[in-house]
Amino acid sequence: MSVPISYGSILRQLKQHHQNKLHAQYRLFSSTPLYWQKAPASTISTATSKAPTRKERLVVLGSGWGGYTLLKHLDKSKYETVIVSPNTYFAMTPLLAQAAVGTLDFRAVMEPVRSNGDVTFHHAWVDALDIQTRTLKLMPAYPPSFREVDPTVSLQEQQHEVHAQLQSQLGRNTDNGERLPHAVPPHSDGKRQARVALEEQSRAPARIPEAKGGYATSFKKPVHRRDVEGMSTASEVPSASVSPATTRGADDKLTQQHGMVHPDDLPRIAEAAMAQEQGRYYELKFDKLVIAVGAYNRTFSIKGVKENAWFLKDAQNARSIRWRILETLEQASHPELPEEDKRKLLSWVVVGGGPTGAELIGEIHDFASNEIKRIFPTLAPLIKLTIVDSAGAILHTFDERLSQYARAKFLNNRIDVRLKRTITGVEPGVLHIKEDGALPFGLLVWSTGITSSPLIRSIKGIKKEKRSLNLLTDDQLRALKAEEGQELVELAPPPKPGVPPNESRCTEEAYENIWALGDWRMMPATAQVASAKAKHLASILNGEMGELGSNSTAAAAYQDQRYFKYSSRGAMTNLGSSQAIFESPVANMTGRTAWLLWRGAYSWMSMSWRNRLLVPWGWLVTATFGRDVSRF
Ligand SMILES: Cc1cc2nc3c(=O)[nH]c(=O)nc-3n(C[C@H](O)[C@H](O)[C@H](O)COP(=O)(O)OP(=O)(O)OC[C@H]3O[C@@H](n4cnc5c(N)ncnc54)[C@H](O)[C@@H]3O)c2cc1C
C-alpha cells in the first residue's frame, strides 16, 4: 500500500523531533528566542559521551607529552576513557622550532587526539577540580554555539536573522560597528558585556596601522593567551579578546596584531562575550583522574612581555611566529621603507638561552642563510639575530664544554649572544635591557622557562612544592593528600639539577584514584620525563603491576614494581647548521654526529608511523626544494 508523502509534513516532523531533543537539554533563555541556556550539567550528557557503561571512568587532563603518551599506552578496554584538552592535537614540541620556520610541515609534528579509538574527547579547559565530589568544571575551548538550528530554514536565512537580532540587541550595525539610531533596550542585562565589548573595541586603534614617517611600522602584538603566565581561567580573558580557540586565519591575526576589529568579527566577539556572561561551563564526573596539564610560559611579571612578545610553547605559537617572520619580510620589502625601519623589522630576538630558545635561533639562522638569502637577497644582509640570557652562558644546564661549543657556533653564525643581561621591560617593537638600553625588534620570542598553570594553583587538597607550585606525588605517581590550606610543602632541592634522588621512598598518604604527571622531587621538566611517567602509569592502570584496589598479597608483591624510577637517556639540543650537542651519562658528543643522532631520535619519537615517515620525508623535501615562504 502506498502512503502519500508530503515534504511539508516531513520537514515539520523533522523540526518537531529536533525541538524535542533540544528541549530535553536546554530551556529557553528568557530574554531572546535565539539563545538557549544550558540545563544543569547533571541532567545532560555531552554530545560526544558514550553510552552508559559499568566501566570506571578514567579522565585524563591534557593532550601533551604526559596525557597523550598515557593514552597511547593505556588498555582502553579496561576503562571508559575520557580526555579533556583545549588542544584537539598532540604537538611534538621538540620539532616546533622547525615548524615555525617551515623546515617541517605542521602536519608532521601534530597528532589528532580524536583519531584514537575508544576515547571520548572534550575540547575544553578544565577550570576547577572538586576532589570530594569527583567533579571537574569544563569550559569549552571552541566558540559556543547554543543557537537553535532550524533544519527548515536555510543557512543564509539563519545568518540574516542572527545579524538582525544582534543588531537590535547590541544597538550597533554589525556591518560597520556604528551605533543604531534606536536605543538599546534597558532590560537586556544579559547583553551588557557584549555592549561593553563593543565599546572597548570602538576605542581600539583605527584600522590603519600606526604610521611612522609615512610608513606602516606596526610592532604592536596584543596577546590574550591563556597559556601565558598571568592569564588564568576563561573568566579572566578580556571580554572582547579573540581566544586562541576562535582563531580563524588572517582576519584574526590582524585583530591580534593591530588590535582592530573586522566588521565580520563583531557578531562572534559579541557572542563570545555573551557566552562568558551566561557561563557555558559544564561538569564532568570521574572515577579515576590523571592530571597532566603541563605548565605556562613564565614572564617574571616583566612589563609588556605578555602583550608584545611571542611565545613558543605550542603549535599555535609556532604558527604565529612563522606568520610574523614572513610578515616582517613582506613589510621590509616595501620599496619606499627607509633602511633604518627595515633593520628594525628584521631584528629578530630570542630571550632565553635554554634548549627551546637556542633551537629556535638556530633554525631561524638556517632559514635566513638559505631561503631568505635566495628569495630576499637585498633583505638578508639586514637581518640581525640576537639571543639574550640572564645567566653567564647559554644552555647552562649542559656540561660547560658543550655550552661553550654552542656559544662558539652561534658567534660563528653571526648570532649576537648577550649574556648576563637584565630585561627591564618590553614595548611594541622595543626590548629594554638594563645593560644595553633599547633594542628594537620586529620579532621577540620569549622563552624563559615555565611556571605552574592556574588550574594547578587552584587545586585544593593536594600537596604542592612551595616554590614551583607543582603537584606532589608519591613514588607511584599518586597525588599526595593535603589538609585544605596546608597544600604548600618545602622540599630540599635535588643534589644536582636534573638528577632526581630516586633512592628516597615516599610514605605519605596519597589518593588511590588521582595521579599527577607533575614533578615529584623536582625531576626535570622535559618530554622525556613526562612520557616516562606516562608509560609507567599506563602499566599501573593496565593492571600489569597487579590489579588496582586489590588487597591481595599478590598485589602487595607488585608494590616495588609500581615505584617509578627515572634514568635519563641524555639531553640534546639542535644548534642549526647541521650541528648539535648531546650529553649523556656515557659520553658527550658535538657537531654533525650529534645532529644526526638528534634527527634520528626525534623522528623515531613521533607518536605515529605516519609522522615517523612524514618527519624524515619533510627534511628530505626541505633539503631538496627549500623551505616554503608563502604566508597563509
Ligand atoms: C618548543 C619546545 C621544545 C621542547 N623540546 C624538548 C626536547 O627537545 N626534549 C625534551 O625532553 N623536552 C622538550 N620540551 C619540553 C617538553 O615539551 C615538556 O617538558 C613536556 O611537554 C611536558 O609534558 P606535559 O604533558 O607535562 O605538558 P604539555 O606537553 O605542555 O601538555 C599539557 C597539556 O595540557 C593541556 N592543558 C593545559 N591546561 C589545561 C586545562 N586547564 N585543562 C585541560 N587541559 C589543559 C594543554 O593544552 C596540553 O595539551 C620542549 C618544550 C617546548 C615548548
* Ligand 1: lining residues by beta carbon, under 6 Å: 61-67, 84-87, 93-94, 96-97, 125-126, 292-294, 312-313, 355-356, 453, 455, 517, 525-528, 530
Partners of 179 in the β-ladder: 172
- Domains observed in the chain: 8-39+145-201 (no CATH), 45-144+283-297+451-563 (3.50.50.100), 206-226+298-450 (3.50.50.100), 571-625 (no CATH)
pLDDT at 442: 97
Hey, whose CA ends up nearest to atom 39 of ligand 1? 293
Tell me, in angstroms, the distance from the centre of ligand 1 to residue 554's CA.
36
454: nearest Cα among 129, 36, 2, 201:
129
* Residue 220 pLDDT > 60: no
Radius of gyration of the chain (CA): 27
Give the ipTM of the model, two decimals please. Answer: 0.99
The pLDDT tens digits for 497-548 are: 545 555 456 678 899 999 998 655 567 788 999 999 999 999 999 988 767 7
Report the DSSP beta bridge partners of residue 445. 310, 350
Cβ atoms of 67 and 58 within 8 Å: the answer is: no
Span from the CA of 251 to the centroid of ligand 1 (angstroms):
28
Residue 148 DSSP code = P
Nearest atom in ligand 1 to 84's CA: 43
Pick from 68, 72, 93, 310 the residue to mutate for probing ligand 1's pocket: most ligand atoms within 8 Å of its CB: 93
CA dist 566 → 145, 258, 327, 469 (Å): 45, 46, 44, 21
Q: How far apart are alpha carbons 560 and 356 in whole angstroms?
A: 36
pLDDT digit string, tens, across residues 405-452: 999 999 999 999 999 999 999 999 999 999 999 999 999 999 998 888
Q: From the CA of 86, give the closest atom in ligand 1.
A: 47
- Of the listed ranges 43-52, 253-262, 332-341, 581-590, the least confidently predicted one is 253-262
Compute the mean pLDDT over every residue in the chain, rounded to the nearest whole number: 77
Q: What is the pLDDT of residue 144?
A: 60
Instruction: Report the percentage of the chain scoring pLDDT > 70.
Output: 65
Residues pairing with 499 in the sheet: 496
Q: How many Å lie between the centroid of ligand 1 and the Cα of residue 367?
A: 25
Output DSSP code: residue 6.
Answer: -
Is 573 a residue whose pLDDT tops 70? yes
C-alpha 266/C-alpha 173 separation (Å) is 9
**Cα–Cα nearest to 241, from 197, 274, 206, 280:** 197
Helix, strand, or coil (residue 547)? coil
CB proximity list for 282: less than 8 A, separation 6 or greater = 38, 41, 44, 46, 137, 138, 140
Q: Indicate whether 169 pLDDT > 70.
A: no
